[in-house]
Structure 1
Amino acid sequence: MPSSRSAVYRAPARAGKVLLMPRTLPHARPGTTAPASPEPRRGVLPGLALSLAVAAAAMLLSQVLPGVSALVIAIAAGIASANLLPLPAALSPGLAVSSKKLLRAGIVLLGLQVALQDLLALGAPMLAVVVAVVAGGILGTVLIGRALGVDRGLTILVACGFSICGAAAVAAAAGVTDPEEEHEERTITAIALVVLFGTLMILMVPALAAVLHLDPEIAGAWAGASIHEVAQVVAAGGAIGGAALTLAVIVKLARVLLLAPVMAVLSLQQRREGGAEGRRPPLVPLFVLGFLAMVLLRSIVPLPDGVLDVGRLLQTALLTAAMFALGTGVKVRRLLQVGPRPLALAALSTLLVSTIALGGVLLVS
């Protein structure tokens, strides 16, 4: 039988010759060839529309649930949808676009939150603390993960998420370092750990600041230098009160700015490990260049508050839609099989980052 994908078949050999004959359509005139069967194409609109609709609902719900990020709500909705409801196959292309393209677009717009003038106002000593937190947190977490025997890919995601800016850093690092099929499962595991331990930090930092009798500004700087997510930093800074919130957010945004150089270093490392035959990611990922362009735009051009508000809204919507799409790729049964080692890694990474941050803030203050 000829292959259904082949346009020719081999006729029986006669007198030592092999003739190649075109495959004809059944009931067609001789000489009429069959057209190549096109691969089925599914539109991305259904999955995209669902992701954006869930993002809008999550953003509205986060307004009535103080301290709960829309990203967290969207992740939970995605996991619940994937495990409680059979999602139609027609949603898959759009969900794939949401988890990759929308995610990177959201990270690009995240740069509009960072103004270099605000960061320089922190002073060189505090900026050095921020660098120490990010560098020490990543390197230390990688060493801890190696000692615990945690999967290297998951360790890198946890290290970036806990040391830089939570879920956005996890997803950005996954896009650079983890192109394999288990990409989404590792990503969601790391994000779930960010949510769990970052939420605990919202409660612990204000409580420990009160026990240690820290001034609000010192406590705010500690919160910004140690807590994982921007939304979690806002919640903790508001709980501390006084001038803590403003300083906490500025210090946190200084950590966010380091997302670009860290992703560039990870990409360079991937290129070296890929070798000549392996897949070689770009030296600097395009979305990182876009992120830096938005930082420069915010720092150089006096953008109206309305533009910044729209940018912040779009950034949140895109990242929230991406988190929902990532959540739909998670099976709870497999997530529950993660085991105690990643939990231990997350706990020790949180302790490491918060200790470096507190020590540095007290030193420069």
Structure 2
Amino acid sequence: MKEFCEKWGKRIATKEMLLIVVITLAATVVGMWAAQFPGLKILGALIIALLIGMVVQFPIRAWYTKDDPQRQAGVKDAAGLIANKFLRLGIILLGFKLNLQLLFTTGAKCLPLAVVIVAVTVLITYGICRWMGVDPLMAILVACGTGICGAAAVMGVSGSIKVSPKREEEKENDEVTAIAIVAIMGTIFALLEIAVLPLFGLTQAQEGFVAGGSLHEIAHAVAAGDGLNNEQLAAQQGVVDAATMANIMKLSRVLMLVFVAIIVAIWWDKRHSEVPSDGGKRKVAFPWFMLGFIATAAIGTLMLKAWPATTGFVNALGNDVAKIFLGMAMAALGINVNFKALKKGVKPFVASLIASVILVALCIGLALLFFPAK
């Protein structure tokens, strides 16, 4: 225990850690503030924090690390630690946002459809990526980000993938590239859906289903749901409004992250994990933090049912507090990103684009089939 405390104490109690904590927290606060504005709301606080982190790395190099190898290593280690641990903590807290009672009642029909949507999209995106020559690591990250819930899915699934120490930097760069791809893709399709979906003559429930079922980030689905929402029209149609349906469908897909992360952990270990040179047994990088995600979802749901007065507290944990830790993790990722590695993103971007078009078409078909107009 003493050795453990001393080891982590040396990593945490450093000037570089204090510097990165202050910078990533500031980036998150700015991101949350900027995301309130219409033009930036569709990007979301997490993507804004990531972009700030990517920009801030230049003054850090120019004014702090310069040619000092010790400081460079300290900044890299501090940013890596925050990106890794805060991401897991943020995802666990995100569970408070998942009202299981709502999903299993109002959204009961959405859950099995979410399984279909996520499975088809992940497999199609991964298949297109591999057909285009994209390496398996980048392919699965982009596939899960496209099929499930954007940045959170990329990082959640990445936590299920164990690579050798020499590939850790490559993995971090792939994470940032994949996040950038799904962020751009989600923004494009959110704007397109707000403009085009009303032309299809869909009901409010159908429009909300398509938005929640096809868009990448939670922020994208929420923004599109709000843009499409018309409560008066929904009442006339006798259906759930677009904003509510978009949220339910999106959260149904978020729940799939738990199962996908576990499946990817097992699949990666069998197909792509590197066997130790000494012939020892490999350990599957089981995403234990996903169990925390389920636990907080259950706790939050019970609290809302038993003590309605705790609604504000539960929502704050699932939204604001979770967003702070996730934002700091995103900013830390941006600080460590290698811009030269981003050029690997062209082929997976095209693959995600093709898969996103297929995803929208699939969701429109499912919406017409399972949520017919009354």
The normalised TM-score by structure 1 is 0.83
The amino acid that maps onto 1:323 is: M
Q: Which has the higher helix share?
A: 2
2:360 corresponds in structure 1 to: 354
CA RMSD of aligned residues (A): 2.1
What SS class does the counterpart of residue 148 from structure 2 fall into? helix
Paired residue total:
325
Matching of residue 100 in structure 1 with residue 84 in structure 2? yes
Q: 1:288 aligns with which of 283, 287, 290?
A: 290
- Distance apart, 1:129 and its partner CA: 1.6
Counterparts in 2 of 1:59 and 1:223: CA distance versus 1, 3 Å: same
Question: In the alignment, which of 201, 204, 208 is matched to residue 189 of structure 2?
Answer: 201
> Percent identity among equivalent residues?
33
Alignment of 1:1-365 (within 5 A): 43=14, 44-64=17-37, 65-83=40-58, 85-86=60-61, 88=65, 89=71, 90-122=74-106, 124-177=108-161, 179=163, 180-181=167-168, 182-242=170-230, 243-273=241-271, 274=273, 277=280, 279-282=282-285, 284-302=286-304, 304-311=310-317, 312-335=319-342, 337-338=343-344, 340-365=346-371
Q: Which residue of 2 aligns with 1:3?
A: none
Contact 1:129 1:357 in 2 (8 A): no
Matches of 1:237 and 1:71 in 2, distance apart? 19
* CA distance 1:316–1:348, shift in 2 (3 Å): same
Instruction: Give, in angstroms, the shift of residue 357 of structure 1.
Output: 1.6
Whether the 8 Å CA contact 1:220–1:237 is kept in 2: the answer is: yes
Unaligned runs of 5+ in 1: 1-39
Structure number, greater radius of gyration: 1
Distance across 2 between alignment mates of 1:339 and 1:313 = 31
| Number of the residue aligned with 2:234 | none
CA distance in structure 2 between the aligned counterparts of 1:136 and 1:226, rounded to whole angstroms: 12
Q: Scaled by the length of structure 2, what TM-score is found?
A: 0.81
Question: Hey, what's the Cα distance between the residues in 1 that align with 2:348 and 2:265?
Answer: 24
2 CA distance for matches of 1:293 and 1:355?
34
Aligned counterparts of 2:108 and 2:48: Cα–Cα separation in 1:
37
- 2:176 and 2:333 in contact (8 A); partners too: yes
Taking the aligned partners of 1:279 and 1:47, their CA distance within structure 2 comes to 33
Read off the aligned partner of 2:96 and give its amino acid letter: L
Corresponding letter in the other structure for 1:185 = N
Is the CA contact (8 Å cut-off) linking 1:83 and 1:332 kept in structure 2?
no
For 1:91, give the aligned amino acid. Answer: V
CA distance in 1, matches of 2:26, 2:100: 34
